[in-house]
Every structure is written in C-alpha cells, then in structure tokens.
Amino acid sequence: MEWLNTYAFPRETAHLDSDAATKEYTKLCNRLVAHGTTTVLIFGTIYKEACQRLALCLQAQGLRGFVGKVCMDRQSPDGYSEATSDSLADTEAFIKWVQQLHDNKIHAVVTPRFVPTCTPELLQGLGQLAAHFDTPIQSHISESFDEVEYSSALHPDNTGGDTALFDRAGLLRQRAVMAHGTCLTDPELKVLGQRGTALAHCPLSNFFFGDRVLHVRHAMRLGVKIGLGTDVAGGYSPSMLNAMRSCVIASRALCMSHYATASPHSQAPAPPQTEPTPNRQNLTGVATVASAEPGNSFCIPAPESRKEIQAANLLDWKGAFWLATVGGAQALGLEKTCGTLEVGKAFDALRVDTRHAAAFDVFPADTPMDIFQKFVNLGDDRNIKAVWVGGKLVHHKAS
Amino acid sequence: MEWLNTYAFPRETAHLDSDAATKEYTKLCNRLVAHGTTTVLIFGTIYKEACQRLALCLQAQGLRGFVGKVCMDRQSPDGYSEATSDSLADTEAFIKWVQQLHDNKIHAVVTPRFVPTCTPELLQGLGQLAAHFDTPIQSHISESFDEVEYSSALHPDNTGGDTALFDRAGLLRQRAVMAHGTCLTDPELKVLGQRGTALAHCPLSNFFFGDRVLHVRHAMRLGVKIGLGTDVAGGYSPSMLNAMRSCVIASRALCMSHYATASPHSQAPAPPQTEPTPNRQNLTGVATVASAEPGNSFCIPAPESRKEIQAANLLDWKGAFWLATVGGAQALGLEKTCGTLEVGKAFDALRVDTRHAAAFDVFPADTPMDIFQKFVNLGDDRNIKAVWVGGKLVHHKAS
C-alpha cells in the first residue's frame, strides 16, 4: 500500500486531465509496440474518460488491446476513490462505449483493482456486469505477504483467501486474468484451474513487491493457465524480452528457496536431523540443518534433490518465450486467434534483425537457435524492425 | 564442468589463432566501452600470445585493463591443458611482457582458472610469482555446489575448502579477486577479509551456474571487499548496468530463500513447531512448518522476521551502483586512483544523455535522482555518449 500511496495513486489521479492522460498513454503505446508487444491487457485509472483515451491510443497504434477501468470503493485515498454505484455505472458505460467502437481488437475488461480496495458489493456487481456483457476480467490476486495479511484482516470470516472472495462474486471464469498469485495455496490454484481463470506471471514485479515468485510450473500442473506480463510500473521494464529474462531468473530463485529446505548432503557434518515432513513444494523430504557452530558449514542439498527441484521448477528461455506468446494467448482466450504462427490465425508477428543488431554480436558459428537465444537474452527494441498485428503493419523502422 | 567442456574450452581453444583472438577481443572491447565500462579484470586463455593480443586490444581502446593468462594443468580436456612448468613459465613471460609495455593502465594478473583444474604445485608456483612480481591475482572460488563437491573430491584431506587451498599457496592477499564465492562458509569469508582478498559478485552468472547467490552484505560484514562483475559468458550480458539490476534481484532472491526458513506467521494454522535452532544466516530462529495436508496453507514469515531479513540482505539500486564503482575500485586496490569523482583521482567518467535517450522516457516531474534511477534500471549503451578513462576520451557518440 505504501507504494500505491506514494507512486501509483498520485500518478493515476493526474489522469483526471484526459489530455494529460493521452500524452502519457501515447508514449506508453509507442514504447510497447517498439518493444514488440502486439497484445496488451492493461489497467487504466478509475476515470472512464482516461480509459477511453487509453483505448483510443491503443487503437491508433493498431495494437490488440484489453482495457480496464479500475474500480475501487474503499481503502482508497481521499480524492481517488469511487462510490460503489458510480464505479459500477462507469464500468457499464465504459463497456458500452468500447462496444460501439466495433473494433474487434479493442475490448473492455471488468477490473476490480484488488480485494483490499473493493467492497463485497462492488465485487458482486462487477461479477454480474462481466457475466451480462461477457467481458474478460482482470485483477490482482494474493500478490504478497502484505496483501494477503491486509485482505485477511478486512475479511476475518473468509478462510479461502482472495480466491474465495473473487469466486463468490463470479469473478473467476474463462478470460479472467489475475496478476501475480504468488501467495496462492494449492486449493486456491485448483479453483482457478477449474474455473478457467489464468494468472499473469510478472516476475520482475514479484521480486520487488511479491516477497515471493510465482511457482509457475507447479501452478500449471494444477491446471492453471499462465501468461507472462511486465506489470510495467510494478516492474520497471515495459519489455517482454526483459520479462522473459526475469522469468528464467525467477525460476532459478525459486529453486534456491527450495534448496534452503531440501534434504542435505555431505558438506554439513553430522547435522541434527529432524524427521522428514511433507511440505507444500512436493519435495520428497525436508530437514532442518544446523551445525553446532553457525556458519562453520553450509548445507548442500543432495544431488538427487537438486535434480528433482530443477526438474519441477526451472524454466529456460524457451519456456519463458512460450509463456510470452502461447501462454498469454491462452490466458486471454485468444489461442485460436494468435499466439503462434499458423494458417488460419491472425498475423501477429515481428521482423527481428540480428545482422544489424546494436545489442549483441552474431558470430559465424552461431546456429539459428543460438541467434534466437541471443535475441531473447540480449536483444532489445533496436532489433525489432517491424511489428504486425492482425496482418496490419503497426510499427516499422529503417534497417 | 559440462558448460566448460561444451562452450568455454572449445571457444578458448580457437584463440590458439591469435589473429582470430584479436578479432573477437576487439569486438569485446568495443562492447565493453560502449556499455560504459572503464576498468576490466579479465581472464584470457591459456595461450600467452592471445593474452598479449587481449592486452593490446584493451590498450588500443584506452581501457584500464587487468589481464590474466589462464593456468590449468589437470582435469582439463586433451588439447587444452598445460604442463605445470609451461604454465608457470608462460605466466612469468606474460608478466614481463606486460611490464615492458610501461602502460600504467595495463596490468598482468596471476590467474589459476579454479581449484579443480590446478595441481597444488601449480597453485604454489603461481603464489610465488604473484609475490615476486607483486601482481594482482584472480580466480574462481566456491562457485557452486558442483564445484565445491568436485574440489572436495580432488582434495579429500582438505577441510578448509577452496579458501584453505588458495591460502596455503599464497594466493589470498591484497589485490586478489576471487569470482563468485557463493558457497563460502563464514570462517572462509573471514580469512578472505583478513587477507584483504576481494570477491567479484557476478549475480547473473550465479543464477545460472552458482545454484546460490552471494550473500553480499553478510560477506561485507565479515570484512570482505566486494566489487560487481558481469562474468560475461557465465552471465550473458556484458553490461554493468545489467549486472546492477541482477545484483538487486539477487538480493531479493536471497531474502526469499531466508523467508523459506524463517519463523512463521499466522497464515499457517497451528503448524507443528520444532525448536528454533541457529542457522548460518544469523536469523533469530528457524522453524519447520507443515500443515497436516500439504498445500492447504503456506508459510508467511512474521513481519518482524521479514524486516530483519531485508535489513540484513537487501541491496537497492544505489547499493548496486556502489558495488559497480567504489567496490570494484577497492577490490583492485584502485580506491585512491578511481571509483569516485574526486580531486586528485583519475577522471574515469561517463557522459550520460537522458534527454535523447532511446531506452526510457523522462517526465517533467522526475527529479535528478529519479532520472539517475531510470538510467540504472532501464538505460543502455544508447544513453552513454562519451567515456573517459584517466582523463582520456576513449569512446564518443554523436547525440
């Protein structure tokens, strides 16, 4: 909440001036397309007019855009909050306004900010609107220890976490995309999977705000659809390439957290072992390790544990690329429209130039896969020479 | 070792052709200076002639360069290994060759690759050469679980880890810089601190090869000097800006590992507590937490534990910038020469243009500190318009 009060809320409040909003949104759209983003799922502000400007900016840029008017009717600062009825009325008006654009690339998204800033009445009303107009839904869910604690304190009788609160309001369904989910329990993940609700994995943001990273492969094993996001603002980078890199690193950080509780190997001399107990990460065993004198040794997880942990958790650059393309399309219910290059799908594509690349060197021995990997790990907007969305050229740079 | 055998050794072997080496080193030097690097500590290959080419490329670029002829006389592949006597003779010849350049910005560095590829005789001989010629030293130390296990297997009677092996050979002293050190125990870190030996923190490389990240602030509390490195190759990026970003993320990943073993908070319903036991991370207590049914709850470390963990471990972008400048200068014994902009020091500096920046937007409300932060988090070589080393302009781009 400290970050919201210091940065997000004041910045969003400035968008009461729709012209100022247009200026910033135009810059944002330029950045997004330059970085090769073709489809955007995005929170606007609580102001309907600013959200309309955002939709128009995305439209002008030619992007595929899913835009939400943010809803928040409590735990919000003076001057940046809504009455429940206004929030619902403006959301409905925004949905209708987007519908009359008759642009199959621009969609309105029902957008409760997150549990702490929404009354149960608002959540309920938004669920009904989403069902009535059959819109996508977006929010944040179980983002951090702080958020879970805050949410629990506001709903002392609720034992099912953010998931139960959203579910009761009808906000978990196909084309609902919840950001983060780093603190979801297994039963909550299973509910998301059953409802067809997706998670937006925003690894860089998680590092800064989540206190945890999403257990991507674990969540997918429980049936949850996952797409990759930047959460630009929460994370500092608007680049999906950067999100892919952060995604790989997050999976490695996850392994490190598992090593910290995995069964130990020979380097810890005769540690006092506790009985292996099950834990939520589905490891074969957990042992607390400590030498008589702290720091004289360190715990090396046994090689078998490490292999098991890595097999269960690691994502490499190809996995990250999948999440950024196919995963994102699945999350938004667009898997028949885009996400891969196939006959019958829309032509959403980038032309990537690695020969005149400013960001990395290509050597004669590099295979096409090596070059692709270099682009994912080191490339940037300089390599992206052209961007198409739905067959239309929306960005172009001279070589 | 798998990575060394697949990528590093074949690539280095190609540098037997000194002209080919020069081509690659020239590209590398161009990249480094374009990314704003002013001082380089670098491993060459085992070939003296290639290392001379590397020194000449750094000199031609005007960089401050510390170059090591790599030494390895065992556990090395056929065709890329040395006899102990040849390794020592070539190192001595390389040192003398660099000395006759009479360039106070170019230095030879005694460079055992790492413990597994060096016999005790080679380490001993290199320690004597470093003492005799008063050169800096560089190597890798306790980089990963795998390396520690390999090293232990080769030296079954050694109980002090890589540190004891290097120390017995006289390789730990002022201006010795050891890369990684992610698996060092507290007593080993204290030895490094006492000897004046520094660690090169290479966070991106650690994520991929270390299985752990360096506990930077813990090591500093034990008296170890630390500079920031890219380990370009182990990590994919040659950019110190990227290393700074990875450094911040690594400190956050470290916190996550600590949370995994920290004392739990209310979200875990009545967990079976074990007695708190000390662990090497200096937390107040550790408890193993598991609910009756795995996955039904998750462990939230108590807020006080979180604060304590963060206070002890987190590095922000300013801390990362310090490690990349002052920390690096201290590691190389250059703190009186460079690392800060002060009267009496060499003018090692960048001109950073954030107005015509291609990499990020600056808004009117941004303070100078905001803009500086944006450069560290989002900037790239496009922002770096000029680079000076020792008062000499070594890189320049039109605005």
Domain boundary among A251, A282, A297: A251
The average pLDDT across B152-163 equals 95
pLDDT tens, residue by residue, B2-27: 889 888 999 899 999 999 999 999 99
State how far the alpha carbon of A371 is from the alpha carbons of A374, B11, B286, B347, B391, in Å: 5, 17, 46, 38, 37
Contact B207 A295 (CB under 8 A): no
Q: Which residue of B has its CA nearest to A257?
A: B257
Quick check: B86 pLDDT over 50? yes
3-state SS, chain A, equals CHHHHHHHHHHHHHHHCHHHHHHHHHHHHHHHHHCCCCEEEEECCCCHHHHHHHHHHHHHHCCEEEEEEEECCCCCCCCCCCCHHHHHHHHHHHHHHHHCCCCCCEEEEEEECCHHHCCHHHHHHHHHHHHHHCCCEEEEECCCHHHHHHHHHHCCCCCCHHHHHHHHCCCCCCCEEEEECCCCCHHHHHHHHHHCCEEEECHHHHHHHHCCCCCHHHHHHCCCEEEECCCECCECCCCHHHHHHHHHHHHHHHHHHHHCCECECCCCCCCCCCCCCCCCCCCCCECCCCCCCCCCCCCCECHHHHHHHHHHHCCCHHHHHHHHHHHHHHHCCCCCCCCCCCCCCCCCEEEECCCCCCCCCCCCCCCHHHHHHHHHHHCCHHHEEEEEECCEEEEECCC
Our CA-based measurement puts residue B342 at a distance from the nearest CA of chain A, in whole angstroms, of 32
Partner residue facing A296 (CB), from B186, B297, B301: B186
Across-strand partners of B40? Answer: B65
Instruction: Indicate whether B276 belongs to any domain.
Output: no
Instruction: Indicate whether A258 belongs to any domain.
Output: no
Same domain, A196 and A60: yes
Same domain, B376 and B237: no
pLDDT tens, residue by residue, A339-386: 999 999 999 999 999 987 778 988 888 999 999 999 999 999 999 999
User: So what's the pLDDT on residue A295?
Assistant: 63
Contact B296 A253 (CB under 8 A): no
Number of Cβ within a 10 Å radius of residue A73: 23
The average pLDDT across A50-78 equals 97
Contact A260 B258 (CB under 8 A): yes
Domain boundary among A195, A225, A251: A251
* Per-residue confidence band for A277, with pLDDT thresholds at 50, 70 and 90: very low
User: So what's the pLDDT on residue A265?
Assistant: 67
> Whole domain around residue A69: which residue ranges?
2-251
Instruction: Indicate whether A222 belongs to any domain.
Output: yes
Q: With contacts defined as CB-CB under 8 Å, which chain B residues touch A358?
A: 381-382
Alpha-carbon distance of B343 to B359, in angstroms, equals: 32
The average pLDDT across B99-117 equals 98
3-state SS, A332-360, equals CCCCCCCCCCCCCCCCCEEEECCCCCCCC
Same domain, B136 and B15: yes
Contact A358 B381 (CB under 8 A): yes
List the CATH number of the domain containing B63.
3.20.20.140
Most B-contacting residue of A288, A362, A370, A397 (CB-CB within 10 A), to test interface: A288
Instruction: Indicate whether A351 belongs to any domain.
Output: yes
How many domains would you assign to chain A? 2
Quick check: B245 pLDDT over 60? yes
Contact A211 B253 (CB under 8 A): no
Same domain, A178 and A35: yes
Strand order across the beta sheet in which B392-396 lies = B349-352, B384-389, B392-396
Same domain, B247 and B367: no
Partner residue facing B187 (CB), from A236, A296, A359: A296
Same domain, B356 and B242: no
pLDDT tens, residue by residue, B268-326: 444 333 433 333 333 333 333 333 355 667 788 999 999 999 999 999 999 999 999 99
User: So what's the pLDDT on residue A130?
Assistant: 98
Instruction: Indicate whether A315 belongs to any domain.
Output: no
Cα–Cα–Cα angle for A70, A58, A27, rounded to 5 degrees: 90
User: So what's the pLDDT on residue A266?
Assistant: 53
Domain boundary among A236, A251, A266: A251
Instruction: Indicate whether A289 belongs to any domain.
Output: no
The average pLDDT across B73-85 equals 95
**Cβ contacts from A onto B, under 8 A:** 162
Contacts of residue B58, defined as CB under 8 A and 6 or more positions apart, other chains included, come to B25, B29, B40, B42, B65, B67, B106
ipTM value, please give it: 0.92
Our CA-based measurement puts residue B93 at a distance from the nearest CA of chain A, in whole angstroms, of 31
State how far the alpha carbon of A113 is from the alpha carbons of A69, A138, B74, B107, B331, in Å: 9, 8, 60, 57, 47
List the CATH number of the domain containing A387.
2.30.40.10
pLDDT tens, residue by residue, B326-360: 999 999 999 999 999 999 999 999 999 998 777 89
Most A-contacting residue of B143, B232, B279 (CB-CB within 10 A), to test interface: B279
Same domain, A169 and A54: yes
Number of Cβ within a 10 Å radius of residue A371: 18
Same domain, B53 and B195: yes
Quick check: A212 pLDDT over 50? yes
Instruction: Indicate whether A299 belongs to any domain.
Output: no
Most B-contacting residue of A29, A300, A306 (CB-CB within 10 A), to test interface: A300
Instruction: Indicate whether B284 belongs to any domain.
Output: no
